[in-house]
Structure 1
Amino acid sequence: MISTDEFPETITIGDQEYTVGSMNEQALAQLRGIHFCDQQIQQLNNEWAIADTARLGYLQALKLEMPQPPMPEVSDD
């Protein structure tokens, strides 16, 4: 479980600023939940970036494996 020391002293929700140290346990539990979700989103974004980079590499490799179209013949007429 994340301690309140890892949060900033205050958080802002909308236009309202709140002091983390004065929050009750239920509010802190919600804040920890938000923090967990933020971490998961960051992890998923990192994984997406890795997968996207790999996909681009596979696409490039696939292009190299595809047969090249024949060159059009040029007539001397």
Structure 2
Amino acid sequence: MALPESLTFNGNEYSVAALSEAARVQITNIQAVDAEIARLQLQLGIAQTARSAYVGALSAAMPAASNVVSSDAPAVSAA
């Protein structure tokens, strides 16, 4: 990932080229973590969509409510 030319941090703007190597490494680390968070959020969205589809398919496959044996079984919700 390319570093930005400038960085605003705690309300102050800095030239990245003028920062220490340690500071530039931390900027790179933050960029990498931000990218990983975005990737994981996308994966979570995919998993939530799949779960919704599975709950819908289960709902369609379940017998009518009149055939319910007990309502004390563990619940699977569409949440």
8 Å CA contact 2:3, 2:27 repeated in 1 = no
Q: CA RMSD in A?
A: 1.1
The CA deviation at 1:7 is 2.4
CA–CA distance in 1 between the matches of 2:9 and 2:25?
16
Question: What is the CA-CA distance between 1:40 and the residue it aligns to?
Answer: 0.6
Amino acid at match of 1:14: N
Q: Determine what percentage of the aligned residue pairs are the same residue.
A: 35
Runs of 4+ that moved beyond 6 A: none
Tell me the number of residue pairs that the alignment of Structure 1 and Structure 2 aligns.
66
Provide the secondary structure at the position in 2 that maps to 1:67.
Answer: coil
Structure 1, unaligned stretches of length 5 or more?
71-77
Structure 2 stretches lacking a partner, 5+ long: 67-79
